[in-house]
Homo-oligomer: A and B are copies of this chain.
């Protein structure tokens, strides 16, 4: 069996006398050079170097690197465990013989669920329908409609019943390898360079700016209001639209991120009275599910024509299908155990514990950060991120300039160097001119020690640079 199934070579072969152009950054698609993605950028790369150094026994000012830059709940060193039900179903789908070999290891509802999925899907090693397993899409549609999961509706409050009465069509659901894959796809389809743009909130999760750069689309920023809990206002969106018109750019879509990333803010339920095309994305990566590495998500289309849906289908078919294991992760998220199920008590305990931990940490961290001089932080009730604003001493601003860094990047690099805590500077997400932020996750156990390290660093930093 051959190792390699295909190869890309530069066209210079042994007997050829063609001149080969070397492969340098300049010979690549120039759009690539403009792409930036700070979440795994300079800070992240440096933090990995530190991690390697610690592993190799080098002595640094800190004993471990804390990756507070990525929302990665199940990362080593954090304490959010996977949901047992999800993993039991997944294990049985991997090796169905386990149901016979070790029947007592699994709750009965898990065995029944795996059997049901096996009957529908067959092997998880087979390609599924390019849109995703039809049975799972039906379950996603029911989840969106709010019919089949009354418990989830109750625990999530009024917003979870938001779509009740709005039927969801499984044929308009596309399962994807995480939400990011769906977002990238839709952007690639909407952007006709050079005059297409997409309205994006500032601050935003930089998938949007990175993907727009890749496809030569224009970001059309609308500011969220930090003084009002990062609220979205129609006025700021309309101002962005007006500006785009002046600049000769056609807005192709409006992005709303809820809960906010990086802000964590929750939005009020939007009132949408006209039949506008709407794409809703969801993912198993965050929240209590926390299954980032599984790569599961979906998007749902509303008010899309059959012709456009067929084009979306065509594009996803080139990628064959999303990971079936990820699709099953979506199924477990939208169809968790119900009160009568054997798995229910453990599922309830696990999800309650995770909810409580996140809520407690977020509140404590926002409170403590707000007490620091020069730091203000909107408390985020919904997400695993905080996005504190930092006012830096004038001397620090100068030092940052001399170092050729954005002030928040300068601050974040110093934080990493001193504490091993890696965050993402606000310049990676966008912020109003003259303001500086950083995004950190609320996933770290030992929150007292963690916040203590942030406090100690901040106070030291402010003092070092001459006070505020």
Residues of A at under 8 Å CB distance from B? 1-16, 18, 20-21, 23-25, 27-30, 32-33, 35, 37, 39-41, 48, 70, 72-76, 81-82, 84, 87-88, 90-92, 94-95, 98, 101-102, 105, 122-130, 143-144, 152, 155-156, 159-160, 162-163, 177-181, 183-184, 186, 188-192, 196, 198-199, 205, 207, 210-211, 214-215, 234, 237-238, 241, 250-259, 261, 266, 270-274, 276-283, 286-288, 290-295, 304-305, 307-308, 311, 314-315, 317-326, 382
**Contact B7–A211 (Cβ < 8 Å):** no
Q: Which residues of B contact A155 (CB under 8 A)?
A: 1
**Contact A95–B91 (Cβ < 8 Å):** yes
Q: Name the contact of A90 in the complex, choosing from B15, B95, B256, B287 (C-beta under 8 A).
A: B95
A82 CB, nearest partner CB in chain B, Å: 5
**Contact A323–B311 (Cβ < 8 Å):** no
Q: Which residues of B contact A322 (CB under 8 A)?
A: 295
**Contact A98–B94 (Cβ < 8 Å):** no
> Can you spell out 17 A-B residue pairs with CB atoms less than 8 angstroms apart?
A1-B288, A2-B160, A6-B179, A6-B261, A7-B255, A9-B272, A9-B277, A14-B274, A24-B308, A72-B126, A74-B125, A75-B126, A76-B126, A125-B290, A188-B214, A293-B321, A294-B324
User: Which 3 pairs across A and B sit closest by C-beta, in order of nearness?
Assistant: A102-B102, A293-B324, A40-B317
Given A5-B258, A237-B13, A292-B320, are A35 and B314 also a contact pair (CB < 8 Å)? Answer: yes
**Contact B256–A6 (Cβ < 8 Å):** yes
- How distant is the Cα of A35 from the Cα of B318 in the complex, in angstroms? 10
**Contact A10–B295 (Cβ < 8 Å):** no
A349 CB, nearest partner CB in chain B, Å: 16
**Contact B122–A75 (Cβ < 8 Å):** yes
**Contact B315–A35 (Cβ < 8 Å):** yes
- How distant is the Cα of A369 from the Cα of B287 in the complex, in angstroms? 55
A1-B160, A294-B325 provided; 5 other pairs, C-beta below 8 A?
A1-B152, A4-B281, A39-B317, A72-B126, A74-B122
**Contact A94–B90 (Cβ < 8 Å):** yes
A288: nearest chain-B partner, CB-CB: B1
A103 CB, nearest partner CB in chain B, Å: 9
A81 CB, nearest partner CB in chain B, Å: 8
How many subunits of this chain does the assembly comprise? Answer: 2
**Contact B9–A276 (Cβ < 8 Å):** yes
**Contact B7–A37 (Cβ < 8 Å):** no
